[in-house]
């Protein structure tokens, strides 16, 4: 048993949604058998149920978060607790500063980060099994003038033993607290199919504000999970340009193929493929000052594996399942293999086991936020270690320094770390793995010594 498996299975919330650990995933599969639900129109059903404002009832996580350790001068605040969010997965900020949060079972909430008032803004009928469900969310860069939101989820009527992942665009009606998803407005943009027995589904979305395209991560859908023999992917799906799994796809906001994608003229390639060789790509963030698109990826689960933050550039091959970490051959564990793109940043499993979020810290437009030391630094979140760490980034060379502890002792693993418009770092705590938990929350890290 690896260190990570020990950690995960020994934890109070050790169901291990998506986190690549064989034992945990088998437990999920046993409990959440696949049962397709008829859904003829596949459209969103709206729930206008207004959730109670969360302010008065911030009990759970406030107590639990008091145990968290942070550098002096920082504080942690609960923005929404389990009375608002259930199995929260991903998060995006609207231009008005509100956090829109997806829940695995198909819920979508809007949380005013100033007042902490929350509403349901809609829901999507999604398959919820294994690590599947409603995942990523992104706003059109011109939102709300162009009132489109993108969501990644899994169809309820997939063929037997398969799953079908889909990214669609919906139109939002109303504004502010009255925002609602128009249930009849779904426009599917991309779908891909996988084997339901495998995990690692990706599902992160990034609407690139300058390129004006949508980035979509797809996991490699690990099969015959055996890292020592197959590296999870015996048929090399993540390396195949014709298979959409184990990739970052790049599509137009209408689902079209951008003409400048790297493989539009490669015979046999899916022209939507932008990068390949990914295992379980958990999140995407964009840093405007550097232009970096950073992807957080769960590396393998052996004790000498690494977790990765990759810089997503056209046509890159990040190596899975051929190499892990900085180009090391996955079966020999030591030989370096040329021809693959190294991670932008990677860290060993003694400080992490499942990298789920990465961003470069920037203060708010008005200059509010973390002290100078952290401005321009990398922050990365690790679900299994229930921690967030930081590393310096040399502004001239772009090289990262060594990782160091920042936030430790969370009551549940973090997911979906994103930079707020107020200079705070927001993240989800996802407590239950594959069920709701009293440790489900949206929280933020703030600098208190202004």
CA–CA dist 349, 306 (Å, integer): 6
Measured from the CB atom, the residue of 246 and 271 that comes closer to Ca ion is 246
Contact (CB, 8 A) for 13 and 28: no
Find the shortest distance in angstroms from Cβ 2 to Ca ion.
18
Measured from the CB atom, the residue of 168 and 298 that comes closer to Ca ion is 298
Find the shortest distance in angstroms from Cβ 281 to Ca ion.
10
- Report H helices in 40-103: 60-65
Find the shortest distance in angstroms from Cβ 308 to Ca ion.
5
Contact (CB, 8 A) for 99 and 128: no
Contact (CB, 8 A) for 283 and 356: yes
Instruction: Please report, as residue ranges, which positions from 215 to 274 form the binding site for Ca ion (by CB under 5 A).
Output: none
Measured from the CB atom, the residue of 330 and 384 that comes closer to Ca ion is 330
Find the shortest distance in angstroms from Cβ 39 to Ca ion.
36
Measured from the CB atom, the residue of 139 and 324 that comes closer to Ca ion is 324
The token pair that represents 45 in the structure block: 């059903």
CA–CA dist 301, 293 (Å, integer): 25
Segment interacting with Ca ion, rule: CB under 5 A, options 2-10, 158-166, 310-318, 435-443: 310-318
144 prior amide bond cis, ω within 30: yes
Interface characters, 34-73, with Ca ion (x: CB under 5 A) = ----------------------------------------
Find the shortest distance in angstroms from Cβ 318 to Ca ion.
4
Find the shortest distance in angstroms from Cβ 360 to Ca ion.
20
Quick check: 379 binds Ca ion (CB under 5 A)?
no
Half-sphere exposure of 49 (CA within 13 A, CB side): 8
Measured from the CB atom, the residue of 246 and 319 that comes closer to Ca ion is 319
Segment interacting with Ca ion, rule: CB under 5 A, options 101-109, 234-242, 287-295, 313-321: 313-321
Find the shortest distance in angstroms from Cβ 277 to Ca ion.
6
Measured from the CB atom, the residue of 88 and 319 that comes closer to Ca ion is 319
The token pair that represents 317 in the structure block: 């091959």
Find the shortest distance in angstroms from Cβ 342 to Ca ion.
8
CA–CA dist 268, 277 (Å, integer): 17
Pairing of strands 88-93, 404-407: unpaired
Segment interacting with Ca ion, rule: CB under 5 A, options 54-62, 267-275, 316-324, 439-447: 316-324
Interface characters, 420-439, with Ca ion (x: CB under 5 A) = --------------------
Which residues contact residue 259 at a Cβ distance below 8 angstroms, ignoring those fewer than 6 apart? none
Find the shortest distance in angstroms from Cβ 248 to Ca ion.
12
Measured from the CB atom, the residue of 121 and 231 that comes closer to Ca ion is 231
Measured from the CB atom, the residue of 19 and 318 that comes closer to Ca ion is 318
CA–CA dist 136, 152 (Å, integer): 5
What does the angle CA 102 – CA 287 – CA 312 come to, to the nearest 5 degrees? 85
Segment interacting with Ca ion, rule: CB under 5 A, options 205-213, 259-267, 318-326, 371-379: 318-326
Beta strands in 252-370 (DSSP E): 273-276, 280-287, 292-298, 306-311, 323-324, 328-329, 345-348, 355-360
CA–CA dist 177, 119 (Å, integer): 7
Find the residue with minimal CB distance to Ca ion: 318
Find the shortest distance in angstroms from Cβ 328 to Ca ion.
10
Contact (CB, 8 A) for 106 and 128: yes
**Helix count and strand count (H, E) for the chain:** 3, 27
The SS3 assignment for 229 reads coil
Find the shortest distance in angstroms from Cβ 218 to Ca ion.
15
Measured from the CB atom, the residue of 109 and 318 that comes closer to Ca ion is 318
Segment interacting with Ca ion, rule: CB under 5 A, options 118-126, 312-320, 347-355, 428-436: 312-320
Give the interface size with Ca ion as a residue count (CB under 5 A).
Answer: 2
Segment interacting with Ca ion, rule: CB under 5 A, options 26-34, 283-291, 317-325, 397-405: 317-325
Which of 318, 344, 374, 406 binds Ca ion (CB under 5 A)? It is 318
Quick check: 319 binds Ca ion (CB under 5 A)?
yes
CA–CA dist 102, 123 (Å, integer): 9
CA of 15: how far to CAs of 33, 38, 408, in Å? 15, 27, 20
Residue 371's Cα: distance from chain center in Å?
26
The token pair that represents 105 in the structure block: 């079972």
Measured from the CB atom, the residue of 213 and 309 that comes closer to Ca ion is 309
Find the shortest distance in angstroms from Cβ 224 to Ca ion.
20
The SS3 assignment for 319 reads coil
Measured from the CB atom, the residue of 245 and 444 that comes closer to Ca ion is 245
Measured from the CB atom, the residue of 198 and 319 that comes closer to Ca ion is 319
- Residue pointed to by tokens 């400048």: 260
Residue 46's Cα: distance from chain center in Å?
24
- Residue pointed to by tokens 């810089």: 311
Residues lying near Ca ion in the complex (CB under 5 A): 318-319
């Amino acid at each position: 048993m690896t260190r990570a498996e020990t950690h995960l299975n020994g934890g109070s919330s050790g169901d291990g949604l998506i986190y690549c650990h064989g034992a945990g995933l088998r437990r999920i599969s046993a409990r959440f058998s696949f049962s397709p639900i008829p859904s003829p129109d596949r459209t969103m059903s709206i729930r206008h149920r207004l959730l109670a404002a969360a302010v008065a009832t911030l009990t759970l996580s406030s107590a639990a978060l008091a145990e968290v350790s942070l550098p002096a001068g920082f504080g942690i605040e609960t923005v929404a607790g389990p009375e608002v969010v259930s199995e929260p997965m991903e998060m995006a900020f609207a231009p008005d500063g509100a956090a829109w949060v997806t829940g695995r079972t198909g819920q979508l909430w809007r949380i005013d980060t100033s007042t902490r008032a929350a509403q349901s803004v809609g829901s999507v009928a999604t398959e919820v099994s294994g690590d599947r469900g409603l995942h990523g969310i992104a706003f059109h860069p011109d939102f709300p003038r162009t009132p489109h939101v993108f969501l990644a989820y899994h169809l309820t009527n997939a063929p037997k033993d398969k799953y079908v992942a889909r990214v669609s665009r919906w139109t939002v009606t109303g504004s502010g607290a009255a925002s609602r998803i128009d249930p009849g407005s779904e426009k599917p943009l991309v779908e891909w199919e996988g084997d339901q027995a495998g995990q690692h589904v990706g599902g992160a979305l990034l609407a690139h504000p300058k390129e004006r395209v949508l980035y979509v991560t797809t996991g490699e859908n690990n099969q015959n999970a055996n890292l020592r023999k197959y590296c999870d992917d015996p048929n090399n799906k993540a390396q195949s340009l014709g298979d959409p799994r184990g990739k970052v796809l790049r599509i137009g906001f209408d689902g079209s193929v951008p003409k400048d994608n790297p493989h539009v003229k490669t015979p046999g390639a899916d022209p939507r493929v932008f990068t390949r060789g990914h295992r379980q790509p958990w999140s995407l963030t964009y840093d405007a000052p550097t232009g970096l698109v950073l992807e957080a990826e769960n590396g393998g689960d052996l004790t000498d594996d690494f977790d990765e933050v990759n810089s997503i550039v056209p046509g890159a091959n990040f190596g899975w399942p051929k190499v892990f970490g900085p180009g090391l051959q996955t079966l020999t564990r030591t030989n370096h293999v040329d021809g693959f793109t190294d991670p932008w940043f990677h860290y060993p499993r003694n400080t992490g086991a499942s990298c789920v979020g990465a961003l470069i810290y920037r203060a708010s437009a008005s200059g509010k936020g973390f002290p100078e030391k952290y401005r321009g630094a990398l922050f990365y979140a690790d679900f299994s270690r229930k921690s967030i760490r930081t590393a310096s980034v040399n502004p001239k060379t772009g090289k990262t320094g060594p990782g160091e502890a920042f936030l430790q002792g969370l009551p549940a693993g973090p997911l979906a770390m994103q930079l707020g418009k107020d200079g705070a770092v927001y993240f989800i705590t996802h407590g239950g793995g594959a069920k709701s938990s009293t440790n489900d929350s949206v929280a933020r890290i703030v600098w208190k010594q202004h």
